[in-house]
Amino acid sequence: MTAADLRVVMMVANDVTNDSRVRKEAAALAETGAEVTVLGVSAGDLPSREVLDGALIVRVAVPFSLREERKRSRAARRAWRPPLVGYRNTSTYTARSRRIEAELRALKADSGHAVAAAKEGKRNPLGFKLGVATRLLRRGRWQAAQKAAWVRQGVGRKADGTFKFGWRAYDGVIHRMPWPAPWRRLHPEALDLEMAFGDLIDRLEPDVVHAHDMHVIGVATRAAGRAKLRGKHLKVVYDAHEYVAGLSRYGGRTRRSIAAWANHEREYIGQADLVITVSPAIAHRLRQEHKLGHEPAVIMNTPNPADVSVEVTDVRSRIGLPPEVPLLVYSGGVTRARGVESAVQALVELPDAHLAVVCVPGIATDAVRALQALAATLGVENRLHCLDPVKPDEVVAFLRTADVGLIPILRYPSHEMALPNKLFEYAFAGLPVVVSDMPSMKEFVDRTRIGEVFVAADPHDLASKVRTVLGDLDSYRERVAHPGYQQEVSWAGQADKLRSLYGELVGRRLTVSEPADRVAKKQPHLLIGPVNSAGQAWLWSTALERAEPGLVAESLTTGSGAFGFQAHRTGTYRQYRSDLRWQLELTAYTLRTVTHVLFEAGRPMFGQERGALWTTDVPVLDSAGIKHGVIFHGSDIRDPARHRAKYRYSPFRDRDEELTQRLQSANDVMRRHLADYEGPVFVTTPDLLEFVENAVWLPLTVDGEEFSSAEPVLERKVPVVLHAPSASALKGSAYVDPVLTDLDARGLITYQRVEDVPHTELAEMVRNADVVVDQLLLGSYGVLACEAMAAGRLTVGHVADSVRELLPTDLPIAEATPDDLAEVIERLVAERDPARKLADAGPTYVRELHDGRKSVEVLLPFVNGEPENGEV
């Protein structure tokens, strides 16, 4: 097995885009020719696919239903109160109070009316006194209800405060307890990820599954267990991005939460075939704590040197700072554990310096706002610049004009063992560093002498070390730029190490290569599919390549192949519908190599779930910069109601109403999607120009040499009449068969009716026939008519006058309808000279419109630019 046969599935619980380690490792393996698929979590509700750095990124929409149910049940438990103690919602108390107030107001109104009536003598005294008594009872009732509501609300508030205090006390205790910390109960999202990724891994059948970080290690090892049931040993790689048990605590990341994730890691890490991590200290600790047979390999999260040359506005220009002003920079997440507050406080003692904070994921967070408030309190807000992040491959180039890179992280076990990615990003940006005294960082900085180390959380010491570096900036920059140091922190060396580890794991050497399908998109590359109806996609593709030698054009079919039409790429119906591996292989190939896609029949290219249309794939192609259009052949877009109203002869007029309504409904959906579609739309028969707005006629193409015939026409005493209805013309056969069968019985013709025969066999029959009868109900002509004309056969069919008027030249098809087919055939057989003349015009007509040249004229503007609507 070669590297090209190696299948790797990576997983991570984010959307991959900004995870530089995942992307770099995926690219390092993809460079060997291995097929690398990265499963990530979609940021929204819609899944997506794209190729990044040579690997196929599949973002899965994860509903996290187990996690949300835990949140819901937790909220329900905390909202519980004893019956009649308070109101569940403030709005309930408000509504109750207003109802009582409304009743008391109504009572006053009733009293007023009664008093007025008594004064006017309209009520007898006994009735008035009875009404007074009733109103007194009503008032007593509602006043009692008013007091009861007030008491209930008051008791509820007291109880609410007690319950909330109790829950806070409980949380204060339980979240400080590292035991018990069952991850299945505390982090059910790990099982949500199993439900999202597990089945995909099983269907992709990789050789290696690579779990990035602790969230998905369980998914990987369980997939390996299921693979054993299939008799396959799936290798598991666990990539520990951090020391999980020592993660920094903030927000919902409590000691108990961290312990639960550590338990999750502990349960599965022993089942991994290879464990890698980011620093020697973490590797040593993992081996000790989990009693691993081998110390995990270290792949440092260093930058790619290529990132330095990226064209991007630099940080100094972004904030408009002159080059002589000292500029400190921090790039990364802004949380309490990152210690950025120490850097802001240090500005007080660095009156000439400015601090740029490149905030991940962005500046619109509470943590960043707190940082800005701190700067305002200290009077340094004019020297603090909070910036949104740039793309991962732009970070190094963006930072290059700063003077000093800061890493002020606070003291947590995971930080003590970390060598953060930003340490190496600063190095490639040419920046000396000032870092807090975390053991791994301190050892690295002291050894390489690329900066200074300060006491964590001490802004005075931080300011002192910054002054030291700024005072001898050239010397520090010289050490940072030293080739030996640059090589040590280069990702190229780490990538080689990763490939070597993978080679040992799978038992073969992995070397960097350029796979055959991973070429730069230097020339147009068109893919037409997934139908290849009547071999048209193949014929258009070959015609394009024949006309434009620098162009690559391919056809794709996902049918049974029973008719023997040629295609460049094939797949079965089962693969197209349900084989994820096949679908992702096609997706990866297309995104890597193809520049233009034409969807046939409104179907998606990369696999079809029930009800999905071509628009499903549009976002994938758009994100890859691939231009796209859609081709319709007829029944996939034709409007049955309009066709029935417009044409006297229509397959929809007498067709089963249920089937017609079903087709009508499906095509209505197609047209609604088409109304919002911005790409070019092509139709293959001229009648469809009347049904599809702004469509371009893409003429059908026939291989003239294949159908060229030396057989004379209508020379036999009893001519051979052929009818080979397509699926869309079967209804018309109900009119054709009886007529031709009767003519055959009368000895006037020899009738041949064929269905579902291979294309080569049908071609032979067309070449040997005298007359070919096409469809009689659609009002247009299709592939069979073009083939018959190319063979010089007399072609009979119904082509509506409105369609003939759209054609640039006379159409040599003898007109016939269900009403007069017998008369037409009898006349043609009797008057053979005019019939032969009509048949002789067929090859010329096909050469003018259907030999592929006109189709090329239509398609080239799409490939090279934009087509002009409606023109051929």
DSSP one-letter string for 559-622: S--TT----SEE--HHHHHH-HHHHHHHHHHHHHH-SEEEEETT--SS---TT--GGGTHHHHH
630-650 pLDDT tens trace? 999 988 888 777 777 777 777
CA torsion angle 225 228 234 239 (round to 10)? 20
pLDDT at 764 over 50: yes
State the pLDDT confidence band at 870, using cuts at 50, 70 and 90: very low
Tell me which of 3.60.15.10, 3.40.50.2000, 3.40.50.620, 3.40.640.10 is the CATH number of domain 3-61+183-298: 3.40.50.2000
pTM: 0.74
CA distance 2 to 536: 36
pLDDT at residue number 329: 97
Architecture of domain 704-851: 3-Layer(aba) Sandwich (3.40)
Q: Where are the alpha helices (DSSP H) in 230-365?
A: 255-269, 280-290, 315-319, 340-346
Report the percent of the chain where pLDDT is more than 70. 95
Amino acid identity of residue 21, one-letter, is R
Helices 439-448 + 280-290 axis angle, to 10: 150
Q: Record the tokens describing residue 304, joined without a space.
A: 């790619």
| Other Cβ atoms within 10 Å of 482 Cβ, number | 14
647-670 pLDDT tens trace? 777 777 665 566 667 667 777 888
If one looks up domain 305-480 in CATH, what number appears? 3.40.50.2000
CA distances for 771 relative to 2, 708, 787, 799, angstroms: 56, 15, 12, 17
Mean pLDDT, the chain, rounded, equals: 89
Over residues 389-407, the mean pLDDT reads: 92
| Segment holding 682, helix H or strand E | strand 681-683
Given CA atoms 386, 388, 393, 398 in this order, what sign does their dihedral have? Answer: negative
State the pLDDT confidence band at 520, using cuts at 50, 70 and 90: low
Of 92-101, 520-529, 563-572, 741-750, which one has max mean pLDDT? Answer: 741-750
Residue with tokens 């598991």: 236
CA distance 734 to 724: 13
pLDDT at residue number 749: 95
pLDDT at residue number 310: 62
Rounded to 5°, the CA angle 260-263-267 comes to 145
pLDDT at 730 over 50: no
Determine the distance from the C-alpha atom of residue 452 to the mean position of all C-alpha atoms in its chain, rounded to a whole number: 44
State the pLDDT confidence band at 708, using cuts at 50, 70 and 90: very high
15-29 pLDDT tens trace? 998 888 999 999 999
For strands 55-60 and 48-52, give the pairing: antiparallel
pLDDT at 423 over 70: yes
pLDDT at 190 over 90: yes
Over residues 596-617, the mean pLDDT reads: 91
| Contact of 609 with 576, CB cutoff 8 Å | no
* 356 closest CA partner among 336, 381, 377, 385: 385
pLDDT at residue number 867: 44
* 268 closest CA partner among 226, 217, 228, 227: 217
Q: Record the tokens describing residue 303, joined without a space.
A: 């930058």
312-337 pLDDT tens trace? 789 999 999 999 999 999 999 998 88
Helix, strand, coil in percent for the chain, rounding step 5? 50, 15, 35
CA distance 671 to 448: 66
pLDDT at residue number 869: 44
CA distance 440 to 418: 6
Query: Phi/psi of residue 442, each to 5°?
Result: -60, -45
Over residues 427-455, the mean pLDDT reads: 93
For strands 451-454 and 433-436, give the pairing: parallel
* 481 closest CA partner among 626, 612, 324, 305: 305
Determine the distance from the C-alpha atom of residue 795 to the mean position of all C-alpha atoms in its chain, rounded to a whole number: 48
Which neighbouring-strand residues pair with 722?
752, 772
pLDDT at 351 over 80: yes
